[in-house]
Amino acid sequence: MLICTVTLLSFYGLIAFNGQGADLELLSDSYFHSILIFSIKQALLSALISTVLAWPIARAIYYYPNLLFKRAFLSLALLCFVLPTLVLITGFVSLLGRSGIITPLLGPDWNLYGLHGILLAHVYMNLPFAIRAFHAQLQNIPASSWMLASQLKLSGWQKIFLIEWPVLRANFNLTFGFIFILCFNSFAVVLALGGGPQSTTLEVAIYQALKYDFNIGEALTLAWSQLLIAGTFFVLLYRSNSVSWLSKDTRGDYQLPCSSSWQKIRYGLLYSCTLIFMLTPLLALLPGVFAADYSRSIIGNILEALSLTLVLGIICASVAIALAYAIMLPIRQSILQGKTRKTLVLQWLANHSLIAPAMVLSVGLYILFLPLIDLDSVGMIFVVILNIMMVLPFAIQQIRARLLQYDSDYAVLSQSLKLSTRQKLSIEWHYSKSVFFSTFALVIMLAMGDVAIFSIFGSDQLKTLPWLIYQYAGSYKINEASLASAVLLLLYATLLFNLERAKQHA
Amino acid sequence: MLEINQLNIQLGHHSLNYHRQIPTSAIVTLQGVSGVGKSSLLLTIAGFIKAQSGSILWHGKDISQLEVEQRPVAMLFQENNLFEHISVLQNVRLGLVNISDQEIQSSAEQLQIEDQLHKMPAQLSGGQRQRVGILRTLLRPEPLLLLDEPFAELDHQTREITADWVADMARSNHKTLILVTHQQEDVEKLATQNWLL
């Protein structure tokens, strides 16, 4: 109810701000068309490059399981996906920006800002996600399939088309669609690396219309366009299953076809290049960290922003997990009772906030409350509420499988033993606590990395660490941005380490 | 007295009908070919399957409309009787009222599973798991016990020991026991009534 109310209020803001409607003339403006085309183009290209490249890399990891640091590689892949975009952008700027470490090698025409930079950052974040998704899927190939393939003496291509592709096919489309939506809704990357009006997406244009031009009519038109496109794609995607990319590593007794020495060399090379690609922007932070100004004010700013980020993250993650559990109760009940339609409605309500991008919801609430309250003084409350809404579907998705598995294995036994509520909760907690811990770590990372919501409701007095990084980078203090990024990176790496550990015990 | 009156269960396209009275403290064995509805009858008495029509009376009171938790029934399923993520002893304690660890230990000794109590269920063999389930079901306070193929995974010697213990416990505590079995020796050893479906 609470979550639906926030969405409804936001939509009310989008529909009925003081009678001033959306600026429909904008729809026939060439500025709008160029933004729309660029938004779709960059999202399509990012999704295509990420998924096409991920397949051979996932195969390399799968067919050559003894690769050095493979587990660390998969953890790093997860880190790249959840890493706050501004950390990554700082790394890319240090590496490939105007005075970047390897910029002199790229010739005088090189420019990080624009489509190049956006694609690079999007592929950096999403390629590892796709690798993990495909690798997890390949691991589902039963040993018996490989035994049969060996016995039938299938060729390499036959194995790909008869065994690999059928397993990957559904996941391939899904991963492509998911990355498309993520990139279409991408904010911080385009804001920082867009480099001008010719490389602007709807999301950034909304922010600029609202915060710089204060053109509410334009912001409304852009927000509705964003919602329509992202929402349609999401609904299409939601009809399929979810992408399994955080699932437990199901290594074990699968019997893989033998790889030749050449294949092993090829797999090893592909793996090493990907590892270097993932590590370089992070290592590029180091020179900036060493050269940063360690004055009391800079350290104070970073620590202050870090504390705020942590507090925000902990509040959002705790509330989101509690809400996710509460939301799952009626869903589980209706599944146990075999009420399919009710289950679908409840699940849709639980995940509905995925349809509306953070920026769209933020704009709705901002416009609604702007004439009513002083948003500068209570903006942080909105930051918390909207962040909870944004991470809630992820929290639900993470705990859902484990709770439903529990019900499927033990609901009848639990009922038969006539356990008290306390006993039920205690047994359920023992069963699912590792998933709750890993979900907490994931959700806190997602909440702490937010920039879009903060850009609308945040204030200059209270800054989160990602926003501070953005401000340092925006005022060309790249060394300080590197230092702040390194602090955030360290925090994420620690959380990720705990997440992976919890997952191993799940 | 347990009275099963004109009970009709619909399973897919199959319609199953039951009508029978079972005196208190009786031990009834249920026999019949696979698929005839032995387990379904137990699940209906326990409340997991809703009957299409008819009633189930326990001491004259209709229990067929009651929730699982409100029925005077303790049931042992064919499988999945243990939570895999808690210890065997913790599993046994669930559903028990006023039973000390000493009593659990002593019963476990009789069933030859006293050394298994502090292990996790995954460390037990199929027969040991089954005896843990039997131990808990027989120690539960409910007066009506339903056991679905309780001795299926036991070797001949363990089967005899376990069957004796089940019969002793049921008789000394005045429990009414209905158990599904395919073995004639279980019928001869335990049953006061045999019900052939």
User: Using CA atoms, how far apart are residues A32 and A313, in angstroms rounded to an integer?
Assistant: 35
What's residue A238's pLDDT? 65
Q: What distance in Å separates the CA atoms of residue A88 and residue A94, rounded to the nearest whole number?
A: 10
Decide: helix, strand or coil at residue A65: coil
Identify whether A39 is part of a domain. Answer: yes
Residue A304: Cβ-neighbour burial (10 angstroms; 0-12, 13-18, 19+): middle
Contacts of A157 (CB under 8 A, 6+ apart): none
Give the range of the structural domain holding residue B69, as residue numbers without chain letter.
2-196
Q: What's the confidence (pLDDT) of residue A124?
A: 93
Order of strands across the sheet with B14-22? Answer: B14-22, B2-11, B53-58, B61-62
Contacts of B189 (CB under 8 A, 6+ apart): B160, B163, B164, B167
What CATH number is given to the structural domain containing A96?
1.10.3720.10
**CB contact (8 A) between residue A427 and residue B83:** yes
> Which chain B residue has its CA at the smallest distance from A434's CA?
B85
CA-based nearest distance B156→chain A, Å: 28
Residues of A in contact with B80 (CB under 8 A): 409-410, 412-413
Q: Does B74 touch chain A (CB under 8 A)?
A: yes
Mapping DSSP onto H, E and C, the string for A176-213 reads HHHHHHHHHCCCHHHHHHCCCHHHCCHHHHHHHHHHCC
Which residues of A fall within a CB distance of 8 Å from B85? 427, 430-431
| R_g over Cα of chain A | 24
Strand partners, A493: none
ipTM for the predicted complex comes to 0.75
The residue segments making up the domain with residue A81 are: 2-249+262-504
Q: In total, how many domains does chain A have?
A: 1
Inter-chain residue contact A412 with B85, CB threshold 8 Å: no
Shortest Cα distance, chain B CAs vs residue A102, angstroms = 53
CB atoms within 10 A of CB A228: 11
Q: Taking a C-beta distance cutoff of 8 angstroms, is the pair A188, A89 a contact?
A: yes
Question: Which residue out of A408, A412, A414, A418 would a mutagenesis test of the B interface target, given it has the greatest number of B Cβ atoms within 10 Å?
Answer: A418
Residue of A409, A413, A416, A434 to mutate for B, most B C-beta atoms under 10 A:
A416
Report the candidate in A152, A133, A155, A136 with the shortest Cα–Cα distance to residue A144: A152
* Phi and psi at residue A9, to the nearest 5°: -60, -45
Beta bridge partner(s), residue B15 = B10
Angle at A83 between CA A79 and CA A84, to 5 degrees: 175
Q: Which residue has the tokens 């592909």?
A: A270
- Residue count of chain B, please give it: 197
Question: What is the C-alpha to C-alpha distance for residues B62 and B1, in angstroms, rounded to an integer?
Answer: 12
Nearest CA in chain A to B48: A412
- pLDDT, residue A250, reads 43
What is the enclosing helix (H) or strand (E) of B180? strand B176-180
Is A256 a member of any domain?
Answer: no
B44/B56 Cα distance (integer angstroms): 9
Residues with Cβ within 8 Å of B72's Cβ and at least 6 positions away in sequence, in order, are B58, B63, B142, B143, B144
Instruction: List the 396-425 stretch of A: residues with Cβ below 8 A of B.
Output: 409-410, 412-413, 415-419, 423
- Supply the DSSP string of A397-463, one letter for each residue: HHHHHHHHHHHHHHHHHHHHTT--HHHHHHHHHHHHHHHHHHHHHHHHHHHHT--HHHHHH--SSS-
C-alpha to C-alpha distance for B95 and B142, rounded to whole angstroms = 10
Tell me, yes or no, whether A257 lies in a domain: no
Q: For residues B128, B130, B135 and B141, what is the CA-based torsion angle, rounded to 10 degrees?
A: 160
With respect to residue A172, please indicate whether it lies within any of the assigned structural domains. yes
> Which chain B residue has its CA at the smallest distance from A410's CA?
B83
* Cα angle: B26, vertex B194, B135; to 5 degrees: 55
pLDDT of residue A257: 67
Say how far apart CA B191 and CA B185 lie, in whole Å.
Answer: 10
Contact A323, A388 (CB under 8 A): yes
Q: What CATH number has the domain bearing residue B18? A: 3.40.50.300
Short-list A75, A15, A44, CA closest to A494:
A75
What is the pTM (predicted TM-score) of this model?
A: 0.74
With a cut of 70, list the residues of chain B below it in pLDDT.
none
pLDDT for res A188: 83
- Burial profile A437-448: b = 16 or more Cβ within 10 angstroms, e = fewer: bbbbbbbbbbbb
Q: What is the 3-state secondary structure (H, E, C) of A276-305?
A: HHHHHHHHCHHHHHHHCCCCHHHHHHHHHH
Question: Which of A412, A416, A427 shows the shortest C-beta gap to B86?
Answer: A427
The list of chain A residues with pLDDT below 70 reads 1-2, 14-23, 148, 150-152, 238-258, 354-355, 503-506
∠ CA A129-A302-A310, nearest 5°, is: 55
State the Cα–Cα distance between residues B106 and B135, nearest whole angstrom. 11
Amino acid at A336: L
Query: Residue A481: how many CA atoms within 13 Å on its side-chain side?
Result: 26
* Rounded CA separation B61/B73 (Å): 14
CA A354 to chain centre: 12
> Considering only CB atoms, which chain A residues are within 8 Å of B86?
427, 430
Q: Are A384 and A312 in contact (CB under 8 A)?
A: yes
**Residue A467: alpha-carbon gap to chain centroid:** 17
* Alpha-carbon span B182 to B186, nearest angstrom: 8
Under an 8 A CB cutoff, do B68 and A415 touch? Answer: yes
B70 DSSP assignment: G
**What CA–CA distance (Å, rounded) separates A339 from A285?**
53
- Number of domains observed in the structure of chain B: 1
User: Does residue A255 fall inside a structural domain?
Assistant: no
Q: Contact B54/B7 with Cβ under 8 angstroms?
A: yes
Q: Does B102 touch chain A (CB under 8 A)?
A: no
Q: Note whether B95 contacts A417, CB cutoff 8 Å.
A: yes
- Tell me whether residue B69 is exposed, middle or buried, using C-beta atoms within 10 angstroms of its C-beta: 0 to 12, 13 to 18, 19 or more: exposed
pLDDT digits (tens, 9 = 90+) for A367-384: 777 777 777 778 888 888
Q: Among residues A446, A460, A405, which one has the least CA distance to residue A428?
A: A405
Rounded Cα distance between B154 and B158, Å, is: 6
Q: Is residue B62 helix, strand or coil?
A: strand
A409 with B86: Cβ contact below 8 A: no
- Could you give the count of Cα atoms lying within 13 Å of B168 in the half-sphere of its Cβ? 10
Q: Which residue of A has its CA nearest to B90?
A: A427
Burial tier of A501 (Cβ tally within 10 Å: 0-12, 13-18, 19+): middle
